Amino acid sequence: MNYNINVTKTDASRLSSVDFDNIPFGRVFSDHMFIADYKDGEWQDFRIVPFGKFEMHPAAMVLHYGQAIFEGMKASKTVDGKAMLFRPEMHAKRINNSAERMCMPAVPEDLFMQALHSLIDLDSDWIPPQAGSALYIRPYMFSMDEFIGVKPSQTYRFCIFTGPVGPYYPKPVSLIAEQKYVRAVKGGTGEAKAAGNYAGSLLPAKIAQEKGYDQVMWMDGKEFKYIQEVGTMNIFFVLDGKVVTPSTDGAILKGITRDSIIKLLTAKGIQVEERPVAIDEIVEAHQAGKLEEVFGSGTAAVVAHVEKIAYKDTEMMLPPMEERKIGAMIKEEIDGLRAGTIEDKNGWVVPVKSTIMENA
């Protein structure tokens, strides 16, 4: 289906005020945004408008009951300057999985795609051409009913805005295995990218930082025995030459980078074991000198190497960076796919193509 997206262009582009060599993360927003409203049981009023503020009713349900979900993805430029998206249909599917769990309406996948492509095409000059830089894309949905009382809203807004981000080269991170708070439990909302999951993670993250660790390693909520994720990333271990990652069990976010890493490694003949990973196994592997690598995976960093892990009163130091093969190789491969310097055999890298141009 072809959706009619009404476009109002800004007459005051802010692009020339942005220094692409020095972009503060998360604070610079591109010229336009896409908005659709859900009322009377359907999505309507598709529009791209100049980036700007919303007016909120004080009783807007999202402000009270937190029906809000989001995605995080990136557009980048290949070395020959073409705008590309990475596995965008996976994000369309995931936002709808999140919507289902939070009792919100699905966004038709073709509407998501047309809105995304048209918006990115219009603001494609905002994609930094510098290697490793990208245009961060934030699709999200929230409830709009002006009503006090716990029930699903009847009205929603779906938006996409974007902002340029510089290269993300995190220094190796230190983790602390959480022993009190949980991010998610089976049957909860951990598999959804629901705003409330992130609110609940702030206090344990703050406490971890006060203790001197960069991020929380989330454990299962029943026994605090099995590892789930780290911060806002999935986690991989290399144990005695084998790559292992926790199996998604209903409490772990199904990361698109995680899925890409598993598929790329498998294609190279490196088997990835998806299974429950107990912290005791990691401690034993470390004691035996077999904990070779630990890295987080996510859209922002692609791969973030782990320097050390604290668990109860022990601290496990990981081997030096020069000895780590798998994490570095896979980051290089995903960066190369995005830059168009490595052949994309999976059809993951999708050229940006507006549907609005065709209508005009």
- For residues 228 and 225, give the distance between their C-alpha atoms in angstroms, rounded to a whole number: 10
Of 43-51, 59-67, 231-239, 284-292, which segment contacts ligand PLP by CB under 6 A? 231-239
Residue 255 contacts ligand PLP per CB under 6 A: yes
Interface residue with ligand PLP, options 98, 232, 248, 354 (CB under 6 A) = 232
Residue 234 contacts ligand PLP per CB under 6 A: yes
How far apart are CB 326 and ligand PLP at their closest, in Å? 17
* Neighbouring residues of 291: CB distance < 8 A, sequence distance ≥ 6: 237, 238, 239, 282, 285, 316, 318, 319
Residue 237 Cα distances to 71, 161, 194, 275, angstroms = 25, 34, 26, 12
Contact by Cβ (8 Å): 175, 214:
yes
Residue 221 contacts ligand PLP per CB under 6 A: no
Residue 233 contacts ligand PLP per CB under 6 A: yes
How far apart are CB 46 and ligand PLP at their closest, in Å? 25
How far apart are CB 25 and ligand PLP at their closest, in Å? 15
Burial of residue 124, with CB atoms counted within 10 A of its CB: 0-12 exposed, 13-18 middle, 19 or more buried:
middle
Q: Which of residues 256-275 bind ligand PLP (CB under 6 A)?
A: 256-258
* Neighbouring residues of 258: CB distance < 8 A, sequence distance ≥ 6: 234, 236, 245, 297
Q: What count of other Cβ atoms lies within 10 Å of the Cβ of residue 286?
A: 19
Number of residues that bind ligand PLP (CB under 6 A): 13
Residue 299 contacts ligand PLP per CB under 6 A: yes
Strand partners, 48: 7, 34
The site map against ligand PLP for 40-79 (x = CB under 6 A) is --------------------------------x-------
The helix/strand/coil state of 175 is: strand
| Interacting residues with ligand PLP (CB under 6 A) | 72, 229, 232-234, 253, 255-258, 297-299
